[in-house]
Structure 1
Amino acid sequence: MSHITWEAPFCGEGNNCFRIGTDTAGNAYIAVNGAEDQHLTDTREALRALIHDIKAGKADHLL
């Protein structure tokens, strides 16, 4: 497995915190803060779109 570099946690209201990570192969990862070993993997573009929708309030139920 490639080494994942995690960004600082993004936290919404309450305890909804997640982190975005990337590796040297260009993969992107998302995980709940504190549970980075249980992450989802997708392309950077797909995760960027997900984060954009969460911030816009379209997908806050996913947190």
Structure 2
Amino acid sequence: MTDSITWEEPFCGEGNNCFRLGTDPTGNAYIAIAGAEDTYLTDSREALRSLILGIKAGEADHLL
């Protein structure tokens, strides 16, 4: 399944907390720990967008 996912470059917070975001041609979004892309969470692009906006707004910085 990971062959159809287009992964972005890793995003790293403070320390060693790195994750990657990905999408597939059918509109699903993925998030995985950098280096472990074969184990990922998936949801709609809108759900992932909401998560990212929350992180950037400082509402979910404990996740990083």
Query: Using the alignment, how far apart are the partners of 1:32 and 1:23 within structure 2?
Result: 17
Q: Which has the higher helix share?
A: 2
Moved over 4 A (4+): none
| Residue 53 of structure 1: aligned partner | 54
Question: Structure 1: 5+ residue runs without aligned partners?
Answer: none
Counterpart of 2:24? 23
Q: What is the TM-score normalised by the length of structure 1?
A: 0.89
Aligned residue pairs total 63
Q: Secondary structure at the match of 2:4?
A: coil
- TM-score w.r.t. the length of structure 2 is 0.88
Structure 2 residues not aligned, in runs of 5+: none
Identity of aligned residues (%): 76
